[in-house]
A and B are shown apart, each in its own frame.
Chain A
């Protein structure tokens, strides 16, 4: 898999360099991969500093989004009344693009970590909640019937049967969350921040330092892929009994 990824990456870089060479692109429009790499290695401390800020925002948002999405999903699954109250709010929250409320969040929560984490949580929360609800509802009649005959108590049944049965679907939600959480963090940094890869991109763009923009994007890409890989790996480990991985 790593070999395939490296081959794909090398192919994309070649195509990219080809575009730059054939169309004689100036570096302030489209720098070649070599120029981006040079920028990255010439000031690693700068990229590390900003990448760390963004990484903390994304990881925090992912953890909070997973926990909040899980709790809300369980609540919706458990209570028809909760479902009637929460679903419309959830759907309404998805109708408003997070980009539209980003400036408000910065005003309310400030230029620090909180506004970026909140923005990313808003993106992560919905797919996780939907996955939890769908997963918990997928159990079918067999085990609830057995539980009834066995005189099972609700919580042991939830932990021993219901939750493991739904882990596959919840895992899908977690993977979507890992792939989309960076959007919230970066948008938040664009709107107002004092650090982070989004902030770095915005400032470099304003100064026509396009290789820096690409280098920051590359850092974000690597981090997102690593995060996705970690979530995917954890999900697979939790679902050790499934053949389809």
Chain B
């Protein structure tokens, strides 16, 4: 069952949490709307990645955390800044590894189409050591897209890229994840404004200690002005 606009995921953090990771957060509510991109921004160490990992099912979710509104069975894909392509597999094999790992036949057509969309066709037979960092990120993006997941979790996926590659990757994400449910973590306010349908700020009012997950409702006329507002919110958080 796909997650679309009819669904939403609510991560509720109550006040009674103790122990990791509950003590990282103050009471908060994070609502993820199906078919939209939700962006989490916040200072380093505020717990953005932990939220993402909890959504991925990779961190224990203590009783104080509740995930609501999820369809019974749903598939999650998780892409991080460190893409860790398998160096013994070519770009096309890396992109389509999900099927092989599940013991399913390779989706050659799907891989070909996705690599084509991401402008990787010419490099499909190359090994990761023969491609640039930007191409490796695109290969990881292809791998994530080919999972056709209901919930796509992107953890600072472009942090290591130069400005141009980063901008290109943002465009690709905007284009290819359109209509899909995405939760993305970033440090960059402009990236958050460009990609996010909804933005949440992880705020630590005391500089350290439990973070509160607050919605950001910037209303500037241009992305750069909204990014500036978000930047100021982050500075104050």
Contact = CB atoms under 8 A, between A and B. Distances in A.
Nearest to A161: B86
A147 interface: yes
Contact of B147 (A150, A160, A161, A240): A150
A156 B77 contact: no
B89 to A, nearest CB: 8
B129 A241 contact: yes
Interface in B87-102: 87-89, 97-98, 100-102
Contact of A153 (B58, B82, B103, B128): B103
Nearest to B129: A241
Given A152-B101, A160-B86, A145 B78 contact: yes
B76 interface: yes
Contacts of A151: 75, 101-102
Contact of A142 (B77, B82, B102): B82
Contacts of A9: none
Contacts of B97: 150, 160
B78 A152 contact: no
A212 to B, nearest CB: 48
Interface in A132-157: 142-143, 145-153, 155-157
A227 to B, nearest CB: 26
* Chain B at the A interface: SS class: loop
What is the size category of the interface that chain B forms with chain A? 20 to 34
A153 B102 contact: yes
Q: Which of B57, B82, B84, B103 has the most CB of A within 10 A?
A: B103
B101 A149 contact: no
Contacts of B78: 145-146, 149
A205 to B, nearest CB: 49
A150 B86 contact: no
A164 interface: yes
A66 B44 CA distance: 47
A152 B143 CA distance: 14
Interface in B68-90: 75-78, 80, 82, 84, 86-89
B177 interface: no
Contacts of B86: 160-161, 164
B190 interface: no
Contacts of B101: 147, 150-153, 156-157, 160-161
A145 B79 CA distance: 11
A142 to B, nearest CB: 5
Interface of B: 56-58, 75-78, 80, 82, 84, 86-89, 97-98, 100-103, 127-129, 147
22 contacts: A142-B84, A146-B78, A146-B84, A148-B57, A149-B56, A149-B75, A149-B76, A149-B77, A150-B77, A150-B98, A150-B102, A151-B101, A151-B102, A152-B102, A153-B101, A153-B102, A156-B102, A156-B103, A157-B101, A161-B86, A241-B88, A241-B128
